[in-house]
């Protein structure tokens, strides 16, 4: 009998460098991971593509579900992030982790119609810089959105259209394809704030981009919980501010000052109420200061620094450090104002200067000590 020798393809022969990378940011999307990958398999080519899930420290079993996929499919990868959050930054981190020259970004909640993904990718192959799925072009729709959500989306879209030098019908879309080298080129200009990576890319480009738009029908979420809340609106406004004035003044500073304004209102209301109850001014003032600082800390933790949000015992330590920072800021405020006033500056000039110095100190010091990025 002749010896029968079987030849098997080598690992190099089996592996095909990815032409396309699909980036999917996740946060507590366990029940959507496997169904979404199955949908991608149905529309993507048999080989030459990979999907990279970028997970922001999910605690519901999302990473474990992705690991199960990775054990079966060599084109599934996972980036686990700790101590940082945000869809835009997650999307870009995934883009930088793939060798694929063409990358797509889509949500994990299966509301984006994967059926148009091949057309988006083909648009980039045909020469477009950016291709996006649009809900607002002819034949597109927002599905069964509530009227209130549709109005908010339309309003945000109209604002974005006014400030965007690369006009598109749906600048708020989270479903897009782009050349990876374009993202690398724009990296120094990207703000990476919030959820709208497409708008960030469009507004960051110093030149006119070639853009393709593919209409699709936005679907309803079937599993998991929506991540939309007031913070999304805050991030949107921060992104617009960052793109317009971020070179001169940090956009986060505006939100910090707005929170400070709300603290002043809390301070005055509480002071007036305690005085009406017969409390001495010194006690009422001390309580009002303590409560307003705590109010500012809570709002800044929830809004201004939501990407560095403190939780559990970290909030207690953060609050104590914020009290210390604001105490030093108050000393700087009074010191600068007194110095200028004694130097024969007008009282209001001295007062404003002191307030500005105190506010800037509070912002810089709290960013470094209270909400320092890990």
Q: Which tokens hold the place of 109?
A: 């909640």
pTM: 0.71
Percent of the chain at pLDDT exceeding 90: 30
**How far is Cα 84 from Cα 214, in angstroms, rounded to an integer?**
32
Predicted confidence at residue 140, as pLDDT, reads 67
In the predicted model, is pLDDT for residue 64 greater than 80?
Answer: yes
Could you report the per-residue pLDDT of 116-163, keeping only the tens digit for each?
999 999 999 999 999 999 888 777 666 665 565 666 666 666 666 666
Strand 76-80, strand 102-105: pairing: unpaired
Model confidence at 10, pLDDT cuts 50, 70, 90, reads very low
Count how many residues are written for the chain.
374
In the predicted model, is pLDDT for residue 15 greater than 60?
Answer: yes
Predicted confidence at residue 212, as pLDDT, reads 92
H helix or E strand, kind and range, residue 80: strand 76-80
**How far is Cα 27 from Cα 229, in angstroms, rounded to an integer?**
14
Could you report the per-residue pLDDT of 162-211, keeping only the tens digit for each?
667 778 888 878 899 999 999 999 988 887 776 778 888 888 888 889 99
Average pLDDT score over residue span 26-34: 91
Could you report the per-residue pLDDT of 225-268, keeping only the tens digit for each?
655 555 666 666 776 667 666 566 677 788 888 888 888 888 78
**How far is Cα 371 from Cα 366, in angstroms, rounded to an integer?**
6
DSSP string, 102-151: EEEE--TTS-S-GGGHHHHHHHHHTT-SEEEEESSSTT-B-TT--HHHHH
Alpha helices in the chain (DSSP H): 11-14, 30-43, 62-72, 87-96, 117-125, 147-163, 180-186, 197-204, 230-245, 251-276, 281-299, 313-342, 347-369
Sign of CA dihedral 275, 281, 285, 287: negative
Q: At CB < 8 A and 24+ separation, what contacts does 152-156 make?
A: 152/233, 156/233, 156/236
Predicted confidence at residue 3, as pLDDT, reads 53
Q: Which fold does the domain 11-227 belong to in CATH?
A: Spore Coat Polysaccharide Biosynthesis Protein SpsA; Chain A (3.90.550)
**Does residue 18 contact residue 48 with C-beta atoms inside 8 Å?**
yes
Predicted confidence at residue 123, as pLDDT, reads 94
Average pLDDT score over residue span 7-22: 68
**Does residue 29 contact residue 224 with C-beta atoms inside 8 Å?**
yes
Q: Which tokens hold the place of 177?
A: 């394809």
């Amino acid at each position: 009998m002749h010896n029968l020798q079987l030849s098997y393809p080598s690992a190099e022969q089996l592996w095909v460098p990815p032409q396309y990378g699909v980036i999917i940011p996740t946060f507590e999307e366990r029940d959507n991971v496997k169904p979404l990958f199955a949908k991608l398999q149905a529309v993507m080519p048999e080989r030459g593509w990979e999907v990279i899930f970028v997970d922001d420290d999910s605690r519901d079993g999302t990473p474990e579900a992705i690991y199960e996929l990775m054990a079966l499919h060599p084109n599934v990868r996972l980036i686990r992030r700790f101590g940082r959050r945000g869809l835009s930054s997650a999307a870009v981190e995934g883009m930088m982790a793939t060798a694929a020259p063409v990358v797509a970004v889509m949500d994990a909640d299966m509301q984006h119609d994967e059926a148009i993904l091949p057309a988006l990718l083909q648009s980039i192959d045909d020469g477009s810089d950016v291709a996006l799925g649009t809900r607002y072009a002819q034949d597109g729709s927002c599905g069964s959105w509530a009227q209130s959500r549709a109005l908010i989306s339309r309003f945000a879209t109209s604002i974005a259209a006014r400030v965007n030098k690369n006009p598109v019908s749906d600048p708020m879309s989270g479903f897009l394809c782009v050349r990876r080298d374009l993202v690398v080129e724009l990296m120094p200009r990207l703000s990476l704030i919030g959820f709208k990576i497409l708008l960030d890319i469009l507004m960051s480009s110093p030149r006119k981009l070639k853009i393709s738009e593919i209409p699709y029908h936005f679907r309803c979420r079937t599993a998991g919980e929506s991540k939309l809340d007031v913070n999304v609106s805050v991030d949107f406004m921060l992104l617009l501010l960052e793109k317009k004035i971020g070179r001169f003044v940090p956009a986060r500073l505006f939100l910090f000052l707005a929170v400070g304004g709300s603290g002043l209102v809390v301070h005055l209301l509480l002071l007036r109420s305690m005085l009406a109850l017969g409390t001495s001014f010194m006690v009422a003032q001390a309580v009002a200061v303590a409560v307003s600082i705590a109010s500012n800390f809570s709002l800044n933790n929830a809004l201004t620094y939501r990407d560095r949000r403190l939780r559990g015992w970290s909030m207690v330590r953060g609050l104590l450090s914020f009290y210390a920072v604001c105490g030093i800021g108050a000393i700087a405020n009074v010191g600068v104002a007194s110095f200028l006033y004694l130097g024969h500056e007008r009282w209001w000039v001295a007062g404003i200067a002191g307030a500005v110095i105190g506010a800037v100190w509070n912002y810089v010091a709290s960013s470094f000590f209270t909400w320092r990025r890990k």
